[in-house]
Amino acid sequence: MERLTKKEEEVMKILWNLEKAFVKDMVAEFPDPKPPYNTISSLVRILQEKGIVGFKQYGNTYEYFPLLSKEAYRKAYMKKVINDYFDNSFSKAVASFIEEEQLDQKEIEAILKLINSK
């Protein structure tokens, strides 16, 4: 799966949140200044062509919904990041997060608990 552009991700985040929406509904969710309707409409059509968004037609109006779940995208994206930036090593990725994020003891314990449960 190819990575979505920043603008495509913004549209998908809104669509994942709304679950289904018309373009006007998506535009309304953007902060001010709102993007043009035609820009969002074009992005949604690109996402639809990529097979990431589906639609239901009502006359000349289209209601869009995600075909790709947020979780499936996150999983694919994280696998690519780990492969590209951490030599395909989950331990290097976790070590990087621990070092750079300066996790507190509670977060470290939660991570250890998750690891021990697997």
Q: Is residue 111 part of a domain?
A: yes
Residue 109 banded pLDDT, cuts 50, 70, 90: confident
pTM: 0.79
60 and 111 share one domain: no
Residue 12 banded pLDDT, cuts 50, 70, 90: very high
- For position 103, what pLDDT does the model report? 77
Alpha helices in the chain (DSSP H): 6-18, 23-29, 37-49, 70-85, 90-101, 105-117
88 and 113 share one domain: yes
Residues 40-58 have pLDDT tens digits of 999 999 999 999 999 999 9
58 and 44 share one domain: yes
72 or 94, which is more confident?
72
- For position 104, what pLDDT does the model report? 80
| Structural domain boundaries, residue 89 | 70-117
Residue 100 has pLDDT above 90, yes or no: no
Distances (CA, A) of 68 to 6, 50, 74, 96: 16, 10, 10, 29
79 and 52 share one domain: no
